[in-house]
Chain A
Amino acid sequence: MSTEDPVAAEEAAPAASRDAAYWAKNVTTLKLGEVPAEAVNLNVTGRRVVGPVQGFGKMWQKTMRVELRGADVSPAEVIKLWKAEFQRFWPERNWFYAPLEGIAPGEVALLNLGLPGRMKLSTGVLVLYADDESFTLMTPEGHMLAGWITFSAETSGGVTVVQIQALERTNDPLYELGYVFGGNRLNSRFWVQTAENLARHLGVEPQVESQVVCVDRRRQWRKAGNISKNAAVRTFVWTLGTPVRWLRRPFTRRRAGQP
């Protein structure tokens, strides 16, 4: 067989997988692009992503489904809208700063999440996978959860059905404690509200079906050290330092040659 034969060469070369364009590529650590000035940008750049097998707590699979009965919208149209306006459907006091390129494989978004007691958590997500009818976000070290969450739409019985499915476990013992004492319920409520907001935007009075299953009851104590990267603690410490940074700002500006 001649290697100069283009047909033979094509046959010999490994064919690109049909899903290759939909997956993030060559991600080792996260790198965040420009973010708005009002955003708190901590705990993202330089972090590795963590899947459900790297976390600490019990592993949960959460599935929220809502039928868009009566809405004349295809699964691809729903996902296009969702990608374009992801922040709009989140519950109040939570911000998703979408990457400039939008929700596309390999892009990184900054999150500022509202916690109980008016606390804020700064973290991020990687767009792990995105096609026309679904997309998946994966969390970094320090995030409350280690895992990924998939947003998808499909046609079932002639009706477009939207689904949010998370596979997750808390990242460290502190988060796990919070999860046991109400965090798990609040997290499920967050995604139910998101599904409701999307359905209402499309003119549907939502009835969200919610299923929460514990996939693995064991806690991975060897991962307890993840607490050193806890984004809530780091954001809290950063917040405590705000007055000091504010007082030092004129001197910092002077050194930088600014008025």
Chain B
Amino acid sequence: MPGAEFGAEVRSHDSTGVIDLRGEINLGADQALLAAYERAAQDDPRTVVLNFASVDYINSTGIALIVGLLARARKEHRTVRAFGLSEHYRQIFAITRLSDFMGIYADEDSAVTATVST
């Protein structure tokens, strides 16, 4: 069964860039994910938050895209946080050890207001 095509909307929440992700994060998401990050970084926020609540498929290439985004954000001295991850994706983030470098939060408010840099 083909999954939902990847999409990303960008908005601001208390001077934090929030990217609402949806659909499949795979090789095809490359350009759209990068474009969304660039839009979110336009106002030079210190933190970018990724919302995974509407993501229903991530393959290993998709995880590599997220690592690439993380590397870029670190180069620009920006923190990346995430919320809306299902238990399954929390496990994947733990196994791949992405969660060592990206704070995982239960909801958007916690992700935006967290003061500890992760």
A residues apposed to B, CB below 8 Å:
14, 16-20, 22-27, 49-54, 59, 61, 128-129, 131, 134, 136, 138, 148, 150, 152, 165, 167, 215-216, 218
Nearest B residue to A215, CB-CB:
B71
Indicate if the CB atoms of A24 and B86 lie closer than 8 Å.
no
Alpha-carbon gap, A215 to B73, bound state (A): 11
Q: Is B95 an interface residue (CB 8 A)?
A: yes
Residues of B contacting A61 in the complex (Cβ-Cβ under 8 angstroms): 64, 68
Q: What's the nearest-Cβ distance from chain A to residue B5, in Å?
A: 14
The count of chain B contact residues (Cβ–Cβ below 8 Å) is 28
Which residues does chain B contribute within 8 Å of A216, judged by CB atoms? Answer: 71, 74-75
Q: A-facing mask of B65-80, CB < 8 A → 1, else 0?
A: 0011011001100000
For the complex, is B113 an interface residue (Cβ under 8 Å from A)?
no
| B64 with A27: CB separation less than 8 A | no
A26 with B97: in contact, given A18-B57, A19-B59 (CB under 8 Å)?
no
4 tightest A-B CB contacts, nearest first: A136-B60, A129-B60, A216-B71, A51-B97
Taking a contact as CB atoms closer than 8 A, the residue among A22, A51, A53, A138 that contacts B59 in the complex is A22
Given contact pairs A16-B88, A53-B67, A215-B71, A165 touches B57 in the complex (Cβ within 8 A): no
- Do residues A53 and B100 form an inter-chain contact, with CB atoms below 8 A? yes
Q: Say whether B56 faces chain A, with CB atoms less than 8 Å apart.
A: yes
Q: What's the Cα separation between A24 and B88 when bound, in Å? A: 11
Interchain CB contact (< 8 A) of B60 among A18, A25, A148: A148
Pairwise interchain contact B57-A17, C-beta atoms closer than 8 A: yes
Q: Which residues of B contact A52 (CB under 8 A)?
A: 67, 71
Once the chains are docked, how many angstroms separate the CA of A23 from the CA of B59?
A: 8
Additional A-B contact list (6), CB under 8 Å, known A51-B96, A129-B60, A167-B68: A18-B56, A23-B91, A50-B97, A51-B98, A148-B96, A216-B75
Chain B residues 30-82 with CB under 8 Å of chain A are 56-61, 63-64, 67-68, 70-71, 74-75
Q: List 22 A-B contacts (CB under 8 A).
A: A17-B56, A17-B89, A18-B57, A19-B57, A19-B59, A22-B59, A23-B92, A26-B91, A49-B96, A53-B100, A54-B97, A54-B100, A61-B64, A128-B96, A129-B59, A129-B60, A134-B60, A148-B60, A148-B64, A152-B61, A167-B68, A218-B74
